[in-house]
Chain A
Amino acid sequence: MDATSTCPSYAARDYKSEVKPVWCPGCGDYSVLGALTKALAELSIPPENVALVSGIGCSSRLPAYTNVFGFHGVHGRALPIATGIKVSRPELTVIASGGDGDGFSIGGNHFMHACRRNVDMTYIVMDNEVYGMTKGQASPTTAPDWEKSKLTPQGTGINPFHPLVIALAAGANFIARGFSGDPNGTAQLITEAIRHPGFSFVQLLSPCVTFRPEQRDWKDAVHPAAVDPTDDPARAARRLMTDDGFNIGVLYRGNRQPFQPALKASVDSVADLEKEFVL
């Protein structure tokens, strides 16, 4: 291939695997899969140069349904796996994905530190305000008065977690919210998130039609964010704090330097290091 020839172009289907999703009919995650593959085609990244990592949950089943390099790990630990991949293989496009329980509850500490560490990767959370896979318990983003969970029959009584505000405070470089019912908009957000250097966080409202059928109404609640994304964290914080939860679009774009060790050797071999032990 000569230098002037263009990169091969890809279609969304090139990023899909033959595995048939086990999601319930109507689950919001289907269109996240569609949006992701569309974004990758738009960016024309060869499938073998993409690593897609997830934890455990319905949404975390995503990697198996794609034709990129995938890692389906354990509950809550997608971000550290993604970090290890990206730090040691900076040339790869690394995407972590999963649910709100996976990312904000068991994986909450990693979420905070991934924002802070600012490794160049994209984190997609399919937020359905419930634990889908374990059959409908409250998650950190569930409203306090949701009484349908058998574990919290009176509701949780505690305020939901605001992942975007936390991401901002912890240092995420790109913060966006999308709605899976808007596949084109979602694909666009994912594309921008992947392009943005540093840690990009995309919260995707993705209805769980089985345990939260009322979330079908989200399609009427969402609306495009009325303002341009700011790079001023203080302004972004004020906006996010008063946000109704249904603003969609890019809400913050920072310009912090991503974390990436040099990976450049300064000695020829291990034997060079051994001199320090000689008496």
Chain B
Amino acid sequence: MRMTARSVSITFAGSGGAGVMTAGSMLLDAAGHAGWYAYMTRSSGAQIRGGEAAAMLRLSTAPVQSHDDHYDLLVAIDWQNVGRFSAEVPMTADGLVLGDPDGGEFPEQILAKGTRRADIPFKKIAKEIDGGRPNMIALGAVAALIGLPEEAVLKVVKDSLAKKGPAALAASEASVRAGAAFAASLPPSKRLAAATGGERQRLWSITGNEAAGLGAVRGGVRFVAAYPITPGTEVLEWLAPNLAKLGGALVQAEDELASVNQIIGASYGGTTSLTATSGPGLALMTESIGLAVASETPITIVNVMRGGPSTGIPVKSEQSDLNIALYGLHGDAPHLVVAPNSLADCAFSTQWAVHLADTLQTAAVVLSDQSLGQSRATIAPPADPGLRANRLRPEGELGDERYRRYRNTTSGVSPMAVPGMKGYQYTADGLEHTEVGTPSSQASDHSTQLDKRLRKLTAHDYGKYWADIDGEGEGDIAVITWGSTTGPVQEALERWRAAGKQGRMVSIRLLSPVRPEQLAAALEGVSRVLVVEQSHGAQFHRYLRAHYDLPGSVRAFHRPGPLPIRPDEIFRQLADWS
């Protein structure tokens, strides 16, 4: 049974130290060298270090935005506690589970669906090689099973192990070859077609969190204040050395309250600034995000969502910080909420948010999530759209006039001076203020400034970026979604079309301010709307209901994390409705 497919899904699992993440990353890079696309998420047990781990990959001949419904291949280097991943690694009926007979019992849960199993004696093969490594044997075997050219694997092995010395390199190469040789005796697995010449472009290997960091510096961010929290930390880890190279700085703050206020200070000083966090950190920041809104100081906060409430499920994904991002500030505090809808889009959306925050002199929250942020993929290099932080500055001499920092302009945006500009001294204030910035509790000042701060957001032309629309004008059914559930929705719609049906997708990137006219236009001719999101409380669905007129009948498909929403679940929603 030799099957060639568009994509193949693989999990490497094992106890801590077995090297499953290394095997997974190398497979991802090797796929990239072979001209395939790859997407990988990592999952780990409850322990911080050590403990069981799984690297879950999907390799494809076309760009991939999400995981598939099932896995075709599960390779356990050993079985210690790997059963815990059974819910996360649903196997196809004709899938294949490989494990070392010396590495413990094959877990019942994983084999429950009648999946095929085969033994591969990693330990025994490794013993025969001087310095042999079971994870490299697994890598060689998997590559051979799915049809990935051995030279691509050997290139990655060479690139990453050369610095460990010739002996280590030779041992790993021998392990890869031994794994490939053993694979000849294994039952067949799903294979991918060889990439054609045209697809062999130079791909990037990048995580969503790194992409967000890249978007930040592309947008002009040069100051970051940081307090670590999973899964936002890697945005900061990428930024720390790279900001320094660009002449900027990252300061590790004492807490999130300090982080957000430090970036407010730096931005007030004229430096484009950002912080990254996750749910609990965002909660601590809300008061000061309101300060940025009221004082019209541009800042960007990347919130990489995880399962909540409270400390929730910190290592798994969810879209349940939507409410706090939209509504968490006290008072009437219009601000921007932008959501990347793919791993690569973490770069664009963050850059756009930085550009908007600076242009509109307000706070922007970027809502990424764990599954986008901590996944790694090979992607076509995302082009730099050229959007930069570009703040309106006052020009010329003021004469005798007082600088009206909060002048009520038509656009709502008023020129912002920075310290050092002679004659333009003003006090930025979170208290309600007059046009010159003097604290005021008068009704007229309050309403003028509230109107100004709202108007500058609603009147801005966000262009086509407010949403990504797939199948524009197609069919009478539309799926509305946002963020990381966009990938599975897109894939469900592809299957829907493959089944001869029609439908469109609207993935909203600009969550706030709302764009009711644009959505109405995008839904022209639609009589059924399916809303898809990963939250228990249907936060996105309720938000749409509150702010938009949705046509025809509306259904919501929502459930919490941590299990990812898979394309077939969405496909079934569509199919059951017909």
Contacts and interface: CB of A to CB of B under 8 A. Distances in A.
Contacts of A226: none
B206 A84 contact: no
Interface string B204-223: 11100010001001100011
7 contacts: A48-B420, A48-B422, A85-B268, A261-B244, A270-B214, A279-B33, A279-B202
Given A69-B425, A80-B253, A89 B270 contact: yes
The winner among A82, A262, A271, A274 for most chain B CB atoms within 10 A is A274
Given A261-B249, A273-B242, A48 B430 contact: no
Contacts of B264: 71, 73, 81, 84
B255 interface: yes
B183 interface: no
A110 B245 contact: no
A141 to B, nearest CB: 21
A247 B6 CA distance: 79
B269 A266 contact: no
A46 interface: yes
A49 B32 CA distance: 52
B438 A64 contact: yes
B429 A88 contact: no
A88 B222 contact: yes
Given A72-B427, A77-B288, A273 B248 contact: no
Contact of A72 (B262, B290, B418, B431): B431
A98 to B, nearest CB: 13
Interface string A262-274: 1111110011111
B258 interface: yes
Interface in B222-252: 222-223, 225, 242, 244-249, 251
Contacts of B266: 84-85, 87-89
Give 9 closest A-B pairs by Cβ, nearest first: A84-B265, A70-B427, A265-B247, A80-B261, A84-B262, A81-B265, A261-B249, A84-B266, A277-B204
Contacts of B204: 274, 277-279
Given A51-B268, A87-B223, 12 more contacts: A48-B419, A48-B420, A74-B288, A80-B225, A84-B251, A84-B265, A84-B268, A87-B249, A110-B254, A270-B214, A277-B205, A277-B210
Contact of A85 (B419, B425, B427): B419
A51 B419 contact: yes
Contacts of B203: 278-279
A131 B291 CA distance: 22
B247 A263 contact: yes
A89 B267 CA distance: 10
Contacts of A155: none
Contact of B265 (A48, A66, A82, A277): A82
Interface string A53-77: 1000000010110111111111011
B552 interface: no
A7 interface: no
Interface in A37-53: 46-51, 53
Interface in B521-578: none
Interface of A: 19, 46-51, 53, 61, 63-64, 66-74, 76-77, 79-89, 91-92, 109-110, 112-113, 261-267, 270-274, 277-279
A46 B268 contact: no
A53 B438 CA distance: 15
Interface of B: 29, 32-33, 202-206, 210, 214, 217-218, 222-223, 225, 242, 244-249, 251, 253-255, 257-271, 273, 287-288, 290-291, 295, 378, 381, 384, 418-431, 437-439
Question: Which one of B244, B248, B425 has the highest number of Cβ atoms from chain A below 10 Å of its Cβ?
Answer: B425
A278 B260 CA distance: 33
B419 A89 contact: yes
A266 B245 contact: yes
Nearest to A260: B249
Given A71-B268, A277-B206, A109 B244 contact: no
A46 to B, nearest CB: 7
Contacts of A79: 258
Most buried by A among B260, B264, B427: B427
B430 A73 contact: yes
A203 B429 CA distance: 24
A231 B264 CA distance: 34
Given A48-B422, A278-B204, A264 B268 contact: no
A69 B223 contact: no
A73 B202 contact: no
Nearest to B30: A279
B425 A273 contact: no
Contacts of A264: 247
B430 A92 contact: no
A109 B255 contact: yes
B83 to A, nearest CB: 34
Contacts of B420: 48-49, 89, 91-92
A112 B254 CA distance: 9
B202 A110 contact: no
Contact of B381 (A48, A87, A274): A274
A66 B257 CA distance: 26
Given A274-B381, A277-B205, A48 B423 contact: yes
B425 A68 contact: yes
A66 B33 CA distance: 62
Max count, chain B CB within 10 A of own CB: residue among A85, A262, A278: A85
A110 B258 contact: yes
A51 B347 CA distance: 34
A87 B251 contact: yes
B422 A71 contact: no
Contacts of B253: 80, 113
A53 B265 contact: yes
A57 to B, nearest CB: 12
A188 B28 CA distance: 65
A247 B220 CA distance: 49
Contact of B269 (A51, A66, A80, A261): A51
A69 B420 CA distance: 8
Nearest to B431: A72
A69 B422 CA distance: 10
Contacts of B265: 53, 71, 80-86, 88
Contacts of B422: 46, 48
